[in-house]
Amino acid sequence: MLIDTHSHIYSEDFTHDRDEALQRAYDSGVKKIILPNIDSGSIRHMLDLSDAYPHFCYPLMGLHPTSVDEDYKEELQAVEYWLEKRKFYGIGEIGIDLYWDTKFKNEQIDAFRHQLKLAKSENLPVVIHVRDSFEETYKIVKEEQDGTLKGVFHCFTGSEKEAKKVIDVGFFLGIGGVLTFKNSDLSQTISEIKLENLILETDSPYLAPVPKRGKRNESSYLVYVAQKVADVYNVPLTQVAEITTANARKLFEI
C-alpha cells in the first residue's frame, strides 16, 4: 500500500477521466490520496471529490503562495472559515514561492507565518511549498517551531545540507517524480539520510516521473517514485511502501 501525500487530482486536468484515474491509482496500490488546496477558487472542487471518496481522498485547507496578492487577507479569512466548518487533515499547501515573481514577497511571508500559527492552534500538520526560497522558508519554520509544528517540505529537491535542516526542525521530506529525472541530484541527497524521514507524493498533474515524464502526472504513477526510492536504498519496494505509508499515516492521522 502507498499513500500519495500530494495530488491535485481534483483539478481541471482530470475533468474527463477523474474516476478512471482514481481507479488506476487504487489498482496500482495507492490506497489514499492527500488533496492540498490552492485558494478559494479550488475549494469546492476539492471538497466535492473528497466527499465522493471519503476513505480515499483527504482534503487540506490553505492558501498557496502563488495565489497571494493584494487580497490575500480575504483569502486567509476563507481558510479560517472552512477550518471552522468541517474536518481537514492539514494546512496546505502553504509556503513561499519566489520563482515566478517577488512582487508580493512580504505578503507571502505574512500569509505563510499566519498559516503556520493556524496549524499550531488547530494541531494540524503543514504542507510547505518552497521554490527559490529555502532560506526564507526555513528561517520562519524554525522561528515558529515550538515543539508542536509538524509537516513536510513538499517536492523536496534541495541539497543534503538542506535536507538535514528540514529533518532537524522536525519535518519530513516529500519525494516525488524529480527523483527519477536523469539530471537530478536528489538520489545522492536522499541516500545520505534515512528512509524514515521520507513520504512519497506525485504533485499530479505536474512533474510526472520517468518513464511518464512530459505527460500529465497522476497518482498511479507513485509506484515509479517508490521503486526509485527502493533502488536508491537497495531495499525491497514493500519496505519503502511500509515505511513511507506509516510516516504519512502518522503525519496526517489517517
Q: What is the pLDDT of residues 177-207, one digit of tens each?
A: 999 999 999 999 999 999 999 999 999 999 9
pLDDT, position 45: 97
The contacts of residue 172 (CB under 8 Å, 6+ apart) are 151, 152, 153, 166, 197, 198, 199, 247, 251
Distance separating alpha carbons of residues 188 and 25, to the nearest angstrom:
28
| Grid cell of 75 as nine digits | 483569502
Count Cα atoms within 13 angstroms, Cβ side, for 95. Answer: 27
Q: Could you identify the residue written with the cell 482534503?
A: 59
Residue extents of the structural domains in the chain: 2-252
Task: List, for residues 62-95, the tens digit of each pLDDT value.
Answer: 999 999 999 999 999 999 999 999 999 999 999 9
**Facing residues of 33 across strands?**
4, 57
pLDDT, position 217: 98
pLDDT, position 63: 98
What CATH architecture does domain 2-252 belong to?
Answer: Alpha-Beta Barrel (3.20)
Long-range contacts of the stretch 23-26 (C-beta < 8 A, 24+): 24/218, 24/219, 24/220, 25/218, 25/219, 25/220, 25/222, 26/56
pLDDT, position 197: 98
On whether the CB atoms of residues 119 and 125 are closer than 8 A, the answer is yes
On whether the CB atoms of residues 222 and 202 are closer than 8 A, the answer is yes
What's the angle, vertex CA 244, arms to CA 243 and CA 245, rounded to 5? 90
- Give pLDDT < 50 ranges for the chain: none
pLDDT, position 117: 98
Q: What is the pTM of this model?
A: 0.97
